[in-house]
Amino acid sequence: MSVLVFLWGLPSVKAFLDKISIFKIPVSGLHNLILRVPPVVAKNTAEAAVFNFNWLSATGSGILVAAIISGFVMGFGPLQMLRQYGKTLYKVRFSLITIAAMMSIGFMTRYGGLDATMGLAFARTGTFYPFFGTLLGWLGVALTGSDTASNVLFGSLQKISATQVGLSPTLMAAANSCGGVMGKMIDAQSIVVASTATEWYGHEGDILRYVFFHSIALASLVGVLVFLQAYVFPFTKLVIH
């Protein structure tokens, strides 16, 4: 799986797979019908709403290929693998629905303009925004259970806030992801999946209480590092502008 996920992450492989499989579907009634206006952007800009159905280049497709290969190596037949996949999908059905719902909220936040409003508000933290922006990523994963969902939910906000306070949008986008990683240990989905996988049912609260302060401490350390990268030499040399 590690090899295939690595290959799927290569730009050349991803571009090749997209070339033969991707479908770009403009969302009717939304595409280019919403405008972002100053001070969020320099000038009025239409917001594109295109669904990229990259079914083959998605990382999950690489994981599926790895699972199929592993199944054959372990001696499973096609029907046995289908039954196992069916059982797995049934077990994680609520987690899948939750992730899809949180992704939907992220897009609604973006196209409803809430990200712009929150971005301008967070920009008022001024010099301390690198620290609080990192904790925002932590909060996003703690709530949604997914770094991807957190990036969808707050990625545009981070870019807007960073532009407003004169920071690198690349730095704050990365801070959102890195802070989010520290929130992964306390999100409800991860704890439930872990307790289910280990058959340690009913101890979700114990797990949360044990790791909560570790999560806060680690997220704060990441926030301090992002603060240093934003303002303090030589850490600023690590940032791509």
> What residues make up the domain containing 106?
95-241
Neighbours of 159 (CB within 10 A): 18
Report if residue 13 sits inside a domain.
Answer: no
Q: What is the pTM of this model?
A: 0.66
Q: Which of 30, 31, 29, 32 minimizes the C-alpha distance to 46?
A: 32
Per residue in 51-103, pLDDT (tens digit) is 989 999 998 899 999 999 999 999 999 999 999 999 988 887 877 777 677 77
Report if residue 17 sits inside a domain.
Answer: no
Mean per-residue pLDDT, 21-33: 92
Instruction: Give the residues across from 45 on adjacent strands.
Output: 36
Report if residue 179 sits inside a domain.
Answer: yes
> What pLDDT does residue 194 have?
78
Q: Which of 15-19, 31-35, 161-165, 219-223 has the lowest mean pLDDT?
A: 161-165
Q: What's the structural domain count of the chain? A: 1
> What pLDDT does residue 230 have?
93
The residue with tokens 């545009």 is 156
Report if residue 60 sits inside a domain.
Answer: no
Per residue in 137-170, pLDDT (tens digit) is 898 888 777 787 788 778 888 888 888 888 999 9
Please work out, in degrees rounded to the nearest 5, the angle formed at the alpha carbon of residue 200 by the alpha carbons of 193 and 98: 20
